[in-house]
């Protein structure tokens, strides 16, 4: 049923053809999961992703990416810029638009996560930007220094989120600091990631004023590589208006080569009634 897809063998064989193109990839997984004390379930997934790229005669790079399961308006909205993204890149830096992270998220990011499925993604930090899409971000690097500026859609959805951030790399250490604001809320967040031989430690701290209510979040993660195996642990805590909760996880991944890995993890903490855990094979195509 499935056949190979080449419209033009000639085009493939001639080097340096300038035409824009689309590559097709994807990811899959297969395993078991129990979330927050629920019965063990099967978990499986296959997702197809497209990455398009081209270059203008003047040397400007352009392109975009979208997953098949996010293509339509109903499912996400690659056609209206609420899923996927497009970019233009040149000497001026890179300008992206669509479902793009705000500047602080691009600079600071998240802690390392565990498990086959992410187990609730408690390793991820909260950001204010990229809620009104298409959002736009400009990234510019000058040697070890990176600048990032972002804005959510200035359209009719209400207050518009803005963000600015800087990143700096120094040998095995990289750090990021960002500020974002939307309406009467704002957020400052910073993080440092440092490599010590086979170990990588990342620490993030963020503090926000959410329309008058204090919100703080912080955490740390450790990745330790033993040959083909990587063990990951994280701890994170968030406090909103005096009420706080934490979560922590530990997991391991074993690279089988060719795009496949065994992955498993356990997550627990105040944020959960019971521990969540999963195990299975993760695939990258």
Judged by CB under 8 A, the chain residues 220 through 259 that form the site for a copy of itself are 256-259
Q: List binders of a copy of itself among 85-144 (CB under 8 A).
A: 85-88, 95, 97-98, 134-136
Long-range residue pairs from 144-151, CB within 8 A, at least 24 positions apart, any chain? 144/168, 144/169, 144/170, 146/107, 147/93, 148/103, 148/104, 148/106, 148/107, 148/178, 149/103, 150/100, 150/101, 150/102, 150/103, 150/106, 150/180
d(CA 218, CA 215): 10
Q: List binders of a copy of itself among 20-49 (CB under 8 A).
A: 20-30, 38-49
Min separation Cβ 38 and a copy of itself, Å:
6
Options 105-113, 146-154, 188-196, 241-249: segment touching a copy of itself (CB under 8 A)? 146-154
Min separation Cβ 92 and a copy of itself, Å:
13
**Left if phi > 0, otherwise alpha if psi is -120 to 50, otherwise beta: which for 59?**
left
Interstrand relation of 41-55 and 61-67 (parallel, antiparallel or unpaired):
antiparallel
Q: How many residues bind a copy of itself (CB under 8 A)?
A: 92
Q: List binders of a copy of itself among 59-88 (CB under 8 A).
A: 60, 62-76, 78-81, 84-88
d(CA 178, CA 149): 9
Options 108-116, 150-158, 177-185, 231-239: segment touching a copy of itself (CB under 8 A)? 150-158
Min separation Cβ 235 and a copy of itself, Å:
28
Query: By rule CB under 8 A, what string of x and - marks binding of each residue 157-196 to a copy of itself?
Result: ----------------------------------------
* Backbone torsions φ then ψ of 220, nearest 5 degrees: -145, 150
Structure tokens at 29: 């997984």
Min separation Cβ 13 and a copy of itself, Å:
7
């Amino acid at each position: 049923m499935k056949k190979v897809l080449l419209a033009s063998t000639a085009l493939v064989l001639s080097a340096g053809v300038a035409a824009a193109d689309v590559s097709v990839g994807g990811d899959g997984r297969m395993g078991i999961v129990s979330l927050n004390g629920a019965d063990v379930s099967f978990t499986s997934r296959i997702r197809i992703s497209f990455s398009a790229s081209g270059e203008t005669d003047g040397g400007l790079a352009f392109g975009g990416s979208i997953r098949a399961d996010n293509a339509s308006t109903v499912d996400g909205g690659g056609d209206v810029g609420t899923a996927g993204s497009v970019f233009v890149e040149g000497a001026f830096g890179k300008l992206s638009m669509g479902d793009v992270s705000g500047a602080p998220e691009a600079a600071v990011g998240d802690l390392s996560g565990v498990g086959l499925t992410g187990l609730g993604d408690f390793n991820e930090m909260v950001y204010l930007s990229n809620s009104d899409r298409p959002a736009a971000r400009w990234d510019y690097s000058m040697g070890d220094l990176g600048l990032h500026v972002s804005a959510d859609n200035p359209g009719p959805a209400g207050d518009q989120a803005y963000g600015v951030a800087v990143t700096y790399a120094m040998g095995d250490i990289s750090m990021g600091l960002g500020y974002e604001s939307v309406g009467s809320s704002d957020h400052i967040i910073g993080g440092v990631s440092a490599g010590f031989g086979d170990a990588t430690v990342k620490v993030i701290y963020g503090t926000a004023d959410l329309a008058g209510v204090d919100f703080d979040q912080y955490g740390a993660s450790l990745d330790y590589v033993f040959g083909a195996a990587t063990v990951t642990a994280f701890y994170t805590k968030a406090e909103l208006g005096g009420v706080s909760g934490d979560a922590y996880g530990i997991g391991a991944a074993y690279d089988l080569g060719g795009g496949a890995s065994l992955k498993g993890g356990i997550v627990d903490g105040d944020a959960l009634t019971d521990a969540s855990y999963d195990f299975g094979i993760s695939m990258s195509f």
